[in-house]
Each structure stands twice: as C-alpha cells, then as structure tokens.
Amino acid sequence: MSAPPALLRIASLASQGASRREISSAIRGMDRLAVGLYAHTQGLTGPQLLALRAAALSTRVSDAVVSHHTAAALWGLPARTRDLEMVHLSALAGRAGHAKSGPGYRFHRREIPLDAVAELHGIPVTDPMRTVLDVARARDMDWAVVIADAALHQGLVALPALTSAAAVMTASWGAARARALPGLCSPLAESPGESLLRLRLQRMGLPLAEQVVLDDVEGAPRVDFLVEGRLVVEFDGEAKYAMSGDVARAHWLEKQRHDRIVEQGYPVRRVIWAHLWDEVALAARMHRALRAP
C-alpha cells in the first residue's frame, strides 16, 4: 500500500507560533481524524483512508500497535467493507496504562511482543505472521483463511513457519482456531472467492485439486478446481474480467477457453459470489454435476 497523506498536527503549528486564525486557515477543507490531527481525505480509497485513520490513532493512543483486520489491510491483504470502518489496536507488551476502545477504534488488551511489531510508512503494525494468527483468533474462520491464503500467496508468510507458530499457541482465547488455520489454508488461492469456494467444497467432503493444468486439453488451460478428477469448478468474479482493461475481449477469450475444456469431456460449473452464501444449494448443484453422465 502506498504511503498515506501527511497528517497536520495542530500542536506542531502552535509550537511554531501559528495563531488561531492561521491554524483555522491551515485546516480548512481537511477532515479531523483524531484530537489535534487533520488531513485531506478527498479521493482516497477505503484502504487509504483506513491507513490514514490508523496512523492518526496510533499517535493518539499510547503504547498501541495497529493489529488484526486493520493490520491485514495495511499489509495489502483482503478487506471487507466493515473491516475498513473500524481501526483495531493492540497493547504493546510490558507497557503500562493500556487504553480502552473509543469511537472508530477497538483496543485489544492481549499484548503484542516487540519482536512481532513492524513498521509500515511510519505506522507500528503487527508483522504478517502475528496479523494472520490474530485474525484467526476471531470468530469468522472463513475470512481468516482468506487472509492467510493471501498472505501465503504473496509470500508474506510461509506455510511451515505458520504451522510452527500456530502450534505453540495454547491457553489463550481463540488459540484453537489459530492452531487449526494452517490445515485449512493454501498458497494456491488467487482470490478471496477461490479461498471461500475451496472451503465450501471441502466441507462437502469432495476430493479436489487446485490450480490444475489440463494437459489433455488444447492450450493446456489452468482451472481453479478439479473435483474428483473430472468436474471443473471455477470461481467467476467480475474482477478477473475488469483487470484486463478490455472486458469484452476478456469474455471472448474465456468463452474459447471454456469451450476447449468442455470439448475434451470436462463438465464445467461456474460459481459466483451469490452462490457462496447458500451452501446447501451449492452442494446440491455440485452433486448433480457429479452424478451426470
């Protein structure tokens, strides 16, 4: 993520001898992010605004480090809309005077050791390993897997190291979920939709392989999932067409690829975001496809 815009500190202006009128003029058109901290926020994306708010709060809340879903977003990992609305902070180990949660932020009292703290654009954040494990302690395990998959895919963490770090987590809230995480995640997932689809197929008890190259098909296309060695299942998000810059051509190329797969005898089922939220219907659809001749 690029560096957030600079924060304007009222205290700094006052220490330089600025008058009240000069200070009022300086902050005109800016948004107040925390007590005494202002910045221009027009045109910022959700993650950029979150980074700016995190930078402001980390300077106002003493002995705190940005953590959990906020740290994940700052590391460039997937974030939902609600993850961009709340800044998560955690206590630094061995520091006194722990703060409380306040407007727009949640303060976690579980202490973060100093060796698990990194810095991004001057903002103290939990390192990727600690971030992934802290998110896993939360109740939404599916999204924890999404974040872990992305961290593995981007090379921010390695699966053996994640397995070792999770294994030693005991006697703390959410530790069991953190220990279960390495067995659920995969570095092969290329999007949140793929991660969530894999989890649902696994819960159906279906044997599957990820990112499979169909060598017996002309052009050897790679597919998201091959279920029972014979059913191709693809996650179809709008983003993969928009990323090409030419949506119409992207659809045309995808149709040609689809036709090559089907002509070689592989049935194809495409899953979109809406399908992921009704697992019963999705399971019925998968089993119908597998029963078909």
pLDDT of residue 183: 95
Q: How far apart are CA 95 and CA 72, in angstroms?
A: 23
Q: Is residue 8 part of a domain?
A: no
- pLDDT over 90 percentage in the chain: 48
Model confidence at 97: pLDDT above 60: no
Q: What is the pLDDT of residue 1?
A: 61
Residue 18 resides in a domain: no
Last residue of a domain, one of 183, 200, 234: 183
How many domains, in total, are found in the chain?
2
Looking at residues 244-249, what average pLDDT do you find? 65
Structure confidence at residue 53 as a pLDDT band (50, 70, 90): confident
Provide the pLDDT confidence category of residue 242 given band limits of 50, 70 and 90: very low
Quote the DSSP letter at residue 230: T
Q: For 79-89, how does the pLDDT look when each residue is reduced to its tens digit (9 = 90+)? A: 999 899 889 99
Predicted TM-score (pTM) of the model is 0.85
The answer to whether residues 226 and 290 touch, using CB atoms and an 8 Å cutoff, is no
Distance CA 147, CA 145 (A): 5
- The CATH code of the domain that includes 214 is 3.40.960.10
Could you tell me if 138 and 231 lie in one domain? no
pLDDT average, residue stretch 45-67: 84
The residue-averaged pLDDT of 73-100 equals 84
Closest by Cα among 62, 84, 56, 60 to 72 = 84
Last residue of a domain, one of 183, 211, 228: 183
For the chain, the C-alpha Rg in angstroms (whole number) is 23
17 found inside a domain: no
Kindly state whether residues 154 and 131 are assigned to the same domain: yes
pLDDT tens, residue by residue, 208-224: 999 999 887 677 788 99
Let me know if residue 276 belongs to a domain: yes
Within this chain, do residues 169 and 246 fall inside the same structural domain, yes or no?
no
**Range(s) of the domain holding residue 158:** 45-183
| Per-residue CA distances from 91 to 52, 97, 117, 119, 137 (Å) | 20, 9, 11, 15, 16
The SS3 assignment for 126 reads strand
Residues 240 and 200 in one domain: yes
Query: Are both 201 and 178 inside the same structural domain?
Result: no
Same domain assignment for residues 124 and 235? no
Q: Are residues 68 and 159 in the same domain?
A: yes
